[in-house]
Amino acid sequence: MKIAPIVRALENHKDEVAYRIVHTGQHYDRAMSAVFFDELGIPQPDYHLACGGGSHAEQTAKIMIAYEKLCHENRPHMVLVVGDVNSTLACSIVAKKLHRPVAHVEAGLRSGDRHMPEEINRLVTDAVSDLFFVTEPSGVANLLREGQPQAAIHHVGHVMVDNLLFQKARLEKLGPGKGHSCGIKARRPRYGAVTLHRPSNVDDPVALARIAGALDQISRSLPLIFPVHPRTRQQLDKAGIAFSSEVEMIEPMGYMDFLNLWKDASVVVTDSGGLQEETTALGIPCVTVRDNTERPITIEEGTNILAGVQPQMIIDLALSAAAGEGKTGRRPALWDGHASERIVGVLLEFLAHPTS
């Protein structure tokens, strides 16, 4: 989702810059990966490293070994990484060891929680990057505090919002569709949408059972639609946790089908970073099941509420938001659908004058 709008922007400058897409294979389930390339109109990857599976260390190591070989063969002038996954960390380290400049999209975000794997990935990636593309003012402040040069930091807005607005417009042009979400919406005129996948929430059976109990309680007043991440389904099955019939568990959805679902939800209950931002961009109430967030602007300006992980707080905030009693929020500055164009402009200037 973060690559798609950057690719579209790069396509407008094909005479000035060439690019190659590398799919590391970190997300190897079709429902979590290939379908997104299809729906978002991203060209098929030029390289597929097939490095999925294993522990964090195993996966990161496999990506580094495969990506180093690829860099030796292709000698890129710059490496661009997005987000905060293991692939982001692995490829940025390899690039810097080979003396290649690194540009990080979605730089500077910090939760302050070093128990989160993503926080380690963010910290290490930003420590070795040369260009920082930032989504919100907190990212600029974090990078300056960590000693990064002001000239390398660019507050450009958010590529996730670029993609969201682009795909929403496409969805509206398509009209009523045949996706799974259309059938659900026909059956349930009022509902909440749920996503859950953070290790701290799903790997601990006690924590997972508490959150599941909260979702069951919410569903007594508001039916919930829950596309279940493969990791989460595995943990639910392992712990023997079941939901009431008003929590409708379904397979993961493609981007467009899920967007069609959550954009009309009364509330979104999630532990996802991206959904905190996307709900803010569209003004949908969001209750985040976490004790912290690396995206504070969604709380300060947007529609997001941090609920923590205590069941009663999750229940109270979700039902209040669904009833229209939560905050309204606003779309933050530069979340206008043009972040990718700003990013490509900076990249072209850097590549033309790499030492300036």
**Domain residue ranges in the chain:** 3-158+335-352, 177-322
The phi and psi torsions of 79 (rounded to 5 degrees) equal -115, 125
Q: Alpha-carbon distance 141 to 133, whole Å?
A: 13
**Are 293 and 273 a contacting pair, CB within 8 Å?**
yes
Q: What is the C-alpha end-to-end distance of the chain, expressed in Å?
A: 31
Q: Which CATH class is domain 3-158+335-352?
A: alpha beta
Burial of 324 (0-12, 13-18, 19+ CB in 10 A): exposed
* Residues whose CB falls within 8 Å of the CB of residue 257, separated by 6 or more in sequence, listed in order: 179, 180, 181
Q: Assign 226 to helix, strand or coil.
A: strand
Task: List the beta bridge partners of residue 104.
Answer: 81, 132
Active site residues: 197
Architecture of domain 177-322: 3-Layer(aba) Sandwich (3.40)
Burial of 275 (0-12, 13-18, 19+ CB in 10 A): buried
152, two tokens: 């390398």
User: How do the pLDDT tens digits run along the chain, 356 residues long?
Assistant: 899 999 999 999 999 999 999 999 866 555 556 666 778 878 889 999 999 888 999 999 999 999 999 999 999 999 999 999 999 999 999 999 999 999 999 999 999 999 999 999 999 999 999 999 999 999 999 999 999 999 999 999 999 999 999 999 999 888 776 678 999 999 999 999 999 999 999 999 999 999 999 999 999 999 999 999 998 999 999 999 999 999 999 999 989 999 999 999 999 999 999 999 999 999 999 999 999 999 999 999 999 999 999 999 999 999 999 999 978 899 999 999 999 999 999 999 999 987 64
Q: Do domains 3-158+335-352 and 177-322 have the same CATH topology?
A: yes
